C-alpha cells in the first residue's frame, strides 16, 4: 500500500487508488506512517515508504501454507 501510494503521488495524471484497510494484527506488525482520512490517502512524514516491521511481534504469526478447500 505504501509503495503504491508513493508511486501514485509521482504520477501527474494519477486517478484512483483502491484502499483496503489492514486488520489490526497487520497494522501492529507493520506500523506505518500513511493514513486514510476524508476519502484520501496521506503518506505521512516518515522517511522512505514510511513502513517499519516489528520482528518480535511478527514471529508470533508463523507462515501457514494456504490450502484450497
pLDDT in tens, 23-40: 999 999 999 999 999 988
Q: What is the pLDDT of residue 44?
A: 92
Q: What is the pLDDT of residue 31?
A: 96
DSSP string over 16-61: -----PPPHHHHHHS-BS-EEETTEEE--SSSTTSB---HHHHTTS
CB of 58 closer than 8 Å to CB of 29: yes
Q: How far apart are CA 21 and CA 35, in angstroms?
A: 10
Q: How far apart are CA 59 and CA 32, in angstroms?
A: 18
Report the Cα 14 to chain-centroid distance in Å: 19
Amino acid at each position: 500500500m505504501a509503495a503504491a501510494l508513493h508511486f501514485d503521488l509521482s504520477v501527474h495524471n494519477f486517478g484512483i487508488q483502491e484502499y483496503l484497510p489492514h486488520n489490526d494484527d497487520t497494522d501492529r506488525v507493520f506500523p506505518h506512517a500513511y493514513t486514510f482520512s476524508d476519502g484520501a490517502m496521506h503518506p505521512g512524514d516518515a522517511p522512505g515508504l514510511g513502513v517499519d516491521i516489528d520482528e518480535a511481534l511478527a514471529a508470533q504469526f508463523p507462515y501457514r501454507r494456504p490450502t484450497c478447500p
